[in-house]
Structure 1
């Protein structure tokens, strides 16, 4: 999940949780206030009912008039006057089928409240000269419940509208929050080995974005210095090492052709020439490995048809190793020939594929080597398989390391440079390598290159 979407989701979750708590709190406190108000209205009627029924005197008529004229009649309002026996048991006849703890609370604490659905009860204990009484007033509050139902609907609508607004607010918030990061990503993507001198635009301030930009610029400075040092080394090594090698080879050839030499001298001269040629091959491979490892320049980049490239590789391998046996399998080529094209440097790709095919021929003692081309998932797949000595399983992860040679290749010449060079070339072309091998059974290497159908 992208960072912008994560921020939006996080903002949305927090806002939704906050709105839910706020709406729940509003509904709770409003309902509590509404119930408390209704209970107080019932308690006022309890006191009036007590004055009218328990203390009948000349004021009773006045209390009755106040209740009749100035207090509204509640829905299903009823008064219950309960005479309590003055004995220790305090027995009485229950007027209502409600829980016993309501009556017990009235007697022990002097008053109690109880509600059941939309019906409310208030009871108060009175002790007079004439005896002990329990006065209960019961009524319904349909208007209060309707108001709460209306409030609930309003809060739900407000909640839905608010979470929709919070989602879009989160989108806007995350967009502007991540905008500097997107700018950094875009700037970094435009920097490669060919323009390491470029830098990100510095950001004013001391926040994390400014610190990130400064860190990137410092890293680019270190990379530029390292690349320039390596560039200079490769250029100088190419010139300084090739020149004496050329002189050694030329002087040795001149020595061999200048006149009769003893057998021992001739053998020594041929050994010098042979070793100089090996050293030149090693040097060329090392320079190629170094250049493909860090050079991002795309010189002579072109659209390449892979089946034609493989045919050229086969011709080149047969010239180098006349005893090689190569079996081409083009039976599974895609029907759309545009799926056979990739983009890259034809010389580098030919070198990479040739290295793999030559290795297959060498380590299989020139037994048949299969080369097959297929395609899928917008990739061109070149499969090279042999029936050679194979690679020990525990060593397969190291075969692309420079100068590494498997433990079972002692009888074969090599320098451990060809496969690392091949891997760097394939990676330079946005491709990948896959390997499957078993000792004394054979090896299969797959080269995956991206399709360039345009």
Structure 2
């Protein structure tokens, strides 16, 4: 069932329920008022007859004649008087055979009066007590006009209820369609967007309502999806390029070696060259594998160690200094914390070591003098590490892309590498719920800053 139909049904059911409650209340009030008024009229008839016959001892035949002459007689009106032994001593119309049972007479004597219905007739009985004994006067009649009024009212309310419910259902269907029209437009627009025109976006209304907020959210999602597609295409293109070069070199060298017979030394050089290309290919494959395995889904499995960062940076200093005689890494610590736990974080030691080593090695590699400075600051909730060097600054237009896989800036184009290191560093930091930032300007040092929570 569509949302439009559900909203129509619920709106119609709500209005119909309220309307039904109102109409039932109106009918019940009219029924109560009509019945009460008719019983009051019967009571007055019984009182009048009782006073004339019992208290003033008027002639019964005269009373019958007066009753026939009066124009205010009720339909099928009958007055019956019972003595103390429940015997009938007066009947205004003997051709109406209906009478009250003795059990009812007993209740009237006990309670002084009683109103009830029997076989379509309405009865009102009262007790008269005199010196000559106790009597019961019973007035009965058919509430013809009241019943006709109630029947007319009932059919009128039923017809009005059906009419209003129909109008409500139709109006609700129109209003629901009008309210959901922006959703239909969103559905049609999103259906048109992919895969051909990814740049199209949903229109944003001026009204600050739920539809506008939903459109903004969907546009942001489409931006992220488009960016993801672009990164995926760029990743595939770069991987293909990086894999193609060593494979082409290997194939070319082997084909040249097979063209003619060569001396063992030439074959040996070819094998060494092919082996070097295979090592490069293996290194690239290993880095790609590391990059693909780092995601938030397996964070709980990887981040299970308590890592002392002060000890880790000393290890990185030794390892990077050993890579080249030109490299020189210096470490500077901020104020040491009183709590040793503030020098530790929960994470994966191997991954953190890879990230910091890549940053430090890059700092030394692109430094003018091969030097890099690692600074560590211990704070209450976070641990900050910065890697700094003096060298050619990164261009401002390249800063937003340096953490993307396979991206290589102009100043690193002639340096051996694959453009994966910084992307790997960024993913490792994000996996540890940290943040990484970079600042690089002309005349100032290049600074990579990492902030990790304890």
CA offset at residue 29 of structure 1?
Answer: 2.1
Within the candidate set 207, 211, 214, 1:212 is matched to: 214
CA RMSD in angstroms comes to 3.9
Q: Secondary structure at the match of 1:114?
A: strand
Aligned residue-pair number: 274
Within the candidate set 131, 138, 141, 1:139 is matched to: 141
Partner in structure 1 of residue 151 of structure 2:
149
Partner in structure 2 of residue 445 of structure 1:
none
Partner in structure 2 of residue 122 of structure 1:
124
Report if aligned partners of 1:16, 1:163 keep a CA contact under 8 Å in 2.
yes
Look at both structures and tell me which one has the larger radius of gyration over its CA atoms. 2
CA distance in 2, matches of 1:105, 1:206: 72
Partner in structure 2 of residue 46 of structure 1:
46
CA offset at residue 190 of structure 1?
Answer: 1.8
Q: Secondary structure at the match of 1:74?
A: coil
CA distance in 2, matches of 1:242, 1:100: 114
- CA deviation profile, 1:370-404 (whole Å, cap 9, x unmatched): xxxxxxxxxxxxxxxxxxxxxxxxxxxxxxxxxxx
Q: Secondary structure at the match of 1:76?
A: coil
Report if aligned partners of 1:52, 1:61 keep a CA contact under 8 Å in 2.
no
Partner in structure 1 of residue 86 of structure 2:
92
CA offset at residue 41 of structure 1?
Answer: 0.9
- CA deviation profile, 1:62-103 (whole Å, cap 9, x unmatched): 99999777661111111111122xxxxxx5347965455532
Report if aligned partners of 1:48, 1:63 keep a CA contact under 8 Å in 2.
no
Within the candidate set 194, 203, 220, 1:192 is matched to: 194
Partner in structure 2 of residue 355 of structure 1:
none
Q: Which moved more, 1:62-71 or 1:225-234?
A: 62-71
Partner in structure 1 of residue 251 of structure 2:
249
CA distance in 2, matches of 1:207, 1:67: 75
Change (3 A) 1:63 1:209: farther
CA offset at residue 53 of structure 1?
Answer: 1.1
- CA deviation profile, 1:215-250 (whole Å, cap 9, x unmatched): 212212222222222222222222232133212211
CA distance in 1, matches of 2:38, 2:15: 34
CA distance in 2, matches of 1:25, 1:176: 34
- CA deviation profile, 1:239-281 (whole Å, cap 9, x unmatched): 232133212211121122242466xx69x96xx79x98xx9xx
Report if aligned partners of 2:81, 2:88 keep a CA contact under 8 Å in 1.
no
Gaps of 5+ in 2: 90-97, 289-454
CA offset at residue 175 of structure 1?
Answer: 0.9
Partner in structure 1 of residue 32 of structure 2:
32
CA distance in 2, matches of 1:117, 1:81: 19
CA distance in 1, matches of 2:137, 2:4: 65
CA distance in 2, matches of 1:150, 1:208: 48
TM-score, normalization by structure 1: 0.52
CA distance in 2, matches of 1:204, 1:61: 90
Change (3 A) 1:244 1:164: same
TM-score, normalization by structure 2: 0.52
**Mapping for residues 58-69 of structure 1, pairs under 5 Å:** none
